[in-house]
């Protein structure tokens, strides 16, 4: 479900936001012991040079420390709350373990307050539980997948995403990624059952420029609106189409493959569709 607004103001005319019905409480405060400082870089590297354009400003944030490793085996945990996280597109869930420890995890779809989850080879095959790929049944829908054992989840972590476990052989599991790519991953890597929460995030429409500034995103000028000296797609009589989409540095974009030739492809069985 998404939330639409009556067009009382121009900014509400096209505004579409997720309903946040999955959240346990819209005003719940995060656990202080699981908060960290988030220092803004505004898209600059250690030399101060801009390496990611259109970043800067935005509302102040605290970082929520997320347990991507899920290495607390054999101890059950109860879901205490499902909360909003300003640093990611998905929601997060607070787990209260039986030994008293608290941890945040990525909230899967349909997880509710009071649900019991666990991790390890003896965990049940239910949403929110985590284990190695070699212990999971084939056909499982999973997320938060490790690329290397014991290094924590690295892929399939954005809102609404999920992958599927297709097969296992010779110490590797065959995973179908959200992009359609089919690749091999070490079967000792861990993953979590279920799809990531907040699937309506893709339907979100900000409605006004100020809402993007709150998120720390600065204005983006179209290349076709520039002069030839400023952009490869600039200039021309009237409104030129630009024909070949390019970056400001004349690299082809929108479909052009940018994967490094030096990267290994032996783990990729089938590339995503063009």
Over residues 194-213, the pLDDT tens digits come to 999 999 999 999 999 999 99
- Round to whole Å and give the CA distance between 51 and 211: 23
Q: Quick one: 105 and 231 in the same domain?
A: no
Please report whether residue 233 resides in a domain.
yes
Share of the chain above pLDDT 70, in %: 99
Rounded to an integer, the average pLDDT of 217-232 is 94
- Per-residue pLDDT for 123 more than 90? yes
In 26-162, DSSP assigns E strands to 35-37, 62-64, 77-83, 92-97, 102-106, 116-117, 130-132, 141-143, 145-146, 153-155
Give the tens place of pLDDT for each residue, 59-78.
999 999 999 999 999 999 99
Angle ∠(24,19,211) on CA atoms, nearest 5: 115
Q: Quick one: 79 and 195 in the same domain?
A: yes
Domain that holds residue 125: 20-140+191-202
Residue 26: per-residue pLDDT: 66
Residue 22: per-residue pLDDT: 87
Q: Find the CATH number of the domain harbouring 257.
A: 4.10.950.10
Residue 241: per-residue pLDDT: 81
Q: Quick one: 264 and 196 in the same domain?
A: no
Tell me which of 250 and 27 has the higher pLDDT. Answer: 250
Q: Quick one: 128 and 251 in the same domain?
A: no
Q: How many CB atoms lie within 10 A of CB 208?
A: 16
Give the tens place of pLDDT for each residue, 7-64.
999 999 999 999 888 898 767 789 999 999 999 999 999 999 999 999 999 999 999 9
- Round to whole Å and give the CA distance between 129 and 133: 12
Global pTM value: 0.92
For 31-70, give one letter per residue: b (16+ CB within 10 A) or e.
beebeeeeeeeeeeeeeeeeeeeebeebeeeeebebbbbb
- Round to whole Å and give the CA distance between 201 and 16: 10
Q: Quick one: 195 and 239 in the same domain?
A: no
Average pLDDT over the chain, rounded to an integer: 94
Q: Quick one: 136 and 102 in the same domain?
A: yes
Q: Quick one: 198 and 87 in the same domain?
A: yes
């Amino acid at each position: 479900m998404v939330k639409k607004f009556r067009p009382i103001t121009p900014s509400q005319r096209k505004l579409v936001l997720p309903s946040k019905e999955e959240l346990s409480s819209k005003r719940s405060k995060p656990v202080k012991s699981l908060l960290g400082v988030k220092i803004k870089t505004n898209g600059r590297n250690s030399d101060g040079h801009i390496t990611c354009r259109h970043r800067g400003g935005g509302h102040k944030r605290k970082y929520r420390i997320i347990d991507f490793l899920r290495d607390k085996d054999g101890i059950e945990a109860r879901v205490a709350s499902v909360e909003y996280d300003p640093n990611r597109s998905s929601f997060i869930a607070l787990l209260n373990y039986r030994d008293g420890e608290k941890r945040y995890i990525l909230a899967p779809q349909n997880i509710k307050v009071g649900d019991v989850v666990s991790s390890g080879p003896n965990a049940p095959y239910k949403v929110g539980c985590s284990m190695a790929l070699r212990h999971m049944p084939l056909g499982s829908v999973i997320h938060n997948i490790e690329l290397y054992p014991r290094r924590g989840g690295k892929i399939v972590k954005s809102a609404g995403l999920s992958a599927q476990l297709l097969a296992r052989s010779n110490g590797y599991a065959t995973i179908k990624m959200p992009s359609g790519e089919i690749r091999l991953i070490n079967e000792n890597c861990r993953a979590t059952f279920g799809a990531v929460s907040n699937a309506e995030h893709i339907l979100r429409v900000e409605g006004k420029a100020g809402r993007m500034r709150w998120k720390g995103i600065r204005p983006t000028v179209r290349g076709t609106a520039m002069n030839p000296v400023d952009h490869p797609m600039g200039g021309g009589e009237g409104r030129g189409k630009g024909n070949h989409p390019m970056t400001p540095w004349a690299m082809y974009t929108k479909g052009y493959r940018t994967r490094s030739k030096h990267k290994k492809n032996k783990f990729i069985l089938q590339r995503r569709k063009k």
